[in-house]
Amino acid sequence: MRKAFTLIEMVVSLGILAVILSFAGVIFRVSIDSQRMAMANAEVMQKLRVITEQLDADFRGGAIPTRLPYGYPVHISHSTQAPAAAGTPVQMDSDAILLFTAGDFRSTEQYGGNTIAGNVACVYYGQPDPNSYKQPPQPHEKVLLRRQTILAIGGPAQGSDPLGEFFTRSPQEWLVNPPIDPNGWMRRPVIEPNNVKASLPMFVAQGVDSFTLHYLDASTQLRTGAIPWVRPTGASSGVSAGINPKAFKFTFTLYDSKGILKKGRTFTHIVVWDN
């Protein structure tokens, strides 16, 4: 007699197959999500290395003997809100820092057919003016800028700009006759998100939000207990304040380019100021 599957056996078999396929789909989806999460974390960690290595390189130079010609070796500012080009307010809670430092600096572009080089530069860290964005940016669209102005003695006159890549003036000449006031120097740069080439010399990383800093004043006597970090929130929005620090604590939140890490990852990096 020829045997065959009964209807009940077929139903049971299909049910088992459906369960297996369902589990396989869940495992596949979890694997894909895990891979996407791993790639997002790897991207964030790469950004972290770029930012911290650049900070360490700049602050390793310490304050040069002439310091800033405005009474303090470092200037900082704090912003809470600024208008956007579209008229919609962009909420901000970020800081900026400006310092003279020593090192081996070179321009990213050529001027008069030559690369500008120098051993002293004014370095600015901060996020761009919100007017740079056509609409309120998502966290993974915000960028961190580093403006490097090399003091190039004997450099070409064309392209020389105290807010540009180089300025043909020595630190001593700057000290005697500052070409720009601290507030003007601390002004947040306006960038063009759709023109990467124009902002490339200042570009550090994208997906950087809430770039804030705390500092430890040089006159502070450390005792047991919590370190008395200070943040420049008391100053008016965007107005420069001079400080004489002994250490900095930078805090920022990093996001991946695809927005997989919805809340991002927040990091803290401490730099001792060799003043």
Predicted confidence (pLDDT) per residue in 71-107, tens digit: 666 777 776 555 544 455 556 678 888 888 888 899 8
Task: Report the domain count for the chain.
Answer: 1
- Decide: 135 and 30 in contact? Cβ < 8 Å: no
**Dist CA 61 CA 175 (whole Å):** 19
Q: How far apart are CA 10 and CA 28, in angstroms?
A: 26
pLDDT beyond 90 at 258: no
C-alpha span between 128 and 112 (Å, rounded): 28
Q: What is the mean pLDDT of the chain?
A: 80
Q: Contact at 8 Å (CB) between 147 and 191?
A: no
- Residue 95, domain member (yes or no): yes
* Percent of the chain residues topping a pLDDT of 90: 15
Kindly state the tokens that stand for 240: 């420069």
Identity at 230, one-letter amino acid code: V
pTM of the model: 0.80
Mean pLDDT of 181-186: 77
Type of residue found at 184: G
147 within some domain: yes
Q: Is residue 15 part of a domain?
A: no
**Which is it for strands 245-254 and 265-272: parallel, antiparallel or unpaired?**
antiparallel
Distance CA 166, CA 160 (A): 6
Contact between 179 and 162 under an 8 Å Cβ cutoff? The reply is yes
- 161 and 224 in contact (C-beta within 8 Å)? no
34 — pLDDT class (breaks 50, 70, 90): confident
- Assess contact for 64 and 120: CB atoms under 8 A: yes
State how far the Cα of 197 lies from the Cα of 214, in Å rounded to an integer: 32
- Which residue type sits at 35? Q
Dist CA 185 CA 143 (whole Å):
19
Provide the pLDDT for residue 145. 92
Side by side, the strands of the sheet bearing 208-217 are 208-217, 245-254, 265-272
Q: What is the DSSP letter of 104?
A: E
pLDDT of residue 197: 67
Q: Please check whether residue 32 lies inside any domain of the structure.
A: no
Q: Tell me, yes or no, whether 183 lies in a domain.
A: yes
Rounded Cα distance, 207 and 141, in Å? 5
Structural contact between residues 225 and 188, judged by C-beta atoms closer than 8 angstroms: no
Cβ atoms within 10 A of the Cβ of 78, count? 22
Boundaries of domain holding 97: 42-272
CB-based contact 38:254 (threshold 8 Å): no
153 located within any domain: yes
Q: pLDDT band for 2, please (50, 70, 90 cuts).
A: low
Residue 172 phi/psi, 5-degree rounding, is -65, -40
Please report whether residue 7 resides in a domain.
no
Q: Which of 122, 132, 96 is nearest to 210 (CA)?
A: 96
The 3-state DSSP class for residue 116 equals strand
Which range has highest mean pLDDT (74-83, 153-162, 188-197)? 153-162
- Asked which of 17-31, 125-139, 149-163 is least confident by mean pLDDT, the reply is 17-31
Position 177 confidence tier, pLDDT thresholds 50, 70, 90: confident
Evaluate whether residue 30 is within a structural domain.
no
Exposure on the CB side of residue 95, measured as CA atoms within 13 A: 21
The predicted pLDDT at position 89 comes to: 57
